[in-house]
Amino acid sequence: MTQPAVDLLAPAHLDAVGESPVWSVGEQALYWVDIEAPALRRWSAADAQITSWRAPERIACVALHVDGGLIAGMETGVFHVRPGAAGRLDCTLLAPIDHPEPGMRFNDGRCDRQGRFWAGTMVRDMSLARPVGGLYRTDGAGLSAPLVQGLVTQNGLGFSPDGGTMYLSDSHPSVQKIWTLPLHDDGTVGERRLFVDMKDLPGRPDGAAVDAEGGYWICANDAGLVHRFTPDGRLDRSIRVPASKPSMCSFGGANMDLLFITSIRPGQPVGEDVAHGGAVFVARPGVRGLAETPFSSTTSGQ
């Protein structure tokens, strides 16, 4: 397949750590976060304008909430956040988290097909390479115990179209692996199985999305690529973006045929990162995605 055009969502906008794009079908708008700002952002297809709301602490991942607003993984727990007037973000704590070590926060997260919110944790200082991160589930019963442990930099969450398979990655340079896990109806997960070892490919496995055909798209951080893998783990194609650190992708648009890609601005940008590091990109990858299931507090697991 030929390289599709990759455009800038908003040419003048750059984030420090852009992450967690999620498309609202009802609003025809894209939400995402800048973790270090810290801020929630929204781009509306109606006027192509960006609106920002400042968060009280680092906001790492968001998903739609059935009652309006979004559910968010932050530093101290999982919150229901509601954008308000004058850049105000109303935040209601749904579930606090007791991290095993100081200096931790949530990282990558999204809802599964049943409306449960999944998010993982990490030590903010990646140079410490501490494998103390875990993967948690939030549902009507609150925050679960960690269902996966031993993660350094949790990432790559995605769910197969039928909801029965979870994808998970660890993007730390010492790991760079993607796994699949069976996801059961009750919200429990089965054993991790290696899906792709990214040490054999360009880039580290960062945030991800799954298309309607079951293809798994994952940002290859440090390589300026987004890879698509078939459900059997075969590299199908790669899209090049004009920034070295794409961070997460998500499908959206009126026909769910656009791929939105956030990125991170390096501390000392060079080359294309001078102009585009931290930008949000949009591409037409040739496949459609699925609408995100919003979080519902009536959804429960064990």
CATH of the domain at 268: 2.120.10.30
pTM passes above 0.85: yes
Q: What is the total count of domains within the chain?
A: 1
pLDDT tier at 302, thresholds 50, 70, 90: low
| Position 291 in a domain | no
pLDDT tier at 27, thresholds 50, 70, 90: very high
Are 246 and 15 a contacting pair, CB within 8 Å? no
Check pLDDT > 90 for residue 70.
yes
Instruction: Give the separation between CA 277 and CA 266, rounded to whole angstroms.
Output: 7
| Position 296 in a domain | no
* Terminal Cα distance for the chain, rounded: 43
pLDDT tier at 299, thresholds 50, 70, 90: confident
Catalytic residues: 206
| Position 300 in a domain | no
Cα–Cα distances in angstroms (integers) from residue 205 to residues 17, 112, 188, 289, in the given order: 16, 20, 24, 20
| Position 67 in a domain | yes
| Position 90 in a domain | yes
Q: What is the mean pLDDT of residues 65-76?
A: 98
Q: What is the mean pLDDT of residues 47-76?
A: 97
pLDDT tier at 271, thresholds 50, 70, 90: very high
| Position 293 in a domain | no
The total of other beta-carbon atoms located within 10 Å of residue 40's CB is 25
| Position 294 in a domain | no
Check pLDDT > 80 for residue 301.
no
What domain range is 19 assigned to? 6-283
Q: What is the mean pLDDT of residues 170-189?
A: 97
Q: What is the mean pLDDT of residues 71-77?
A: 98
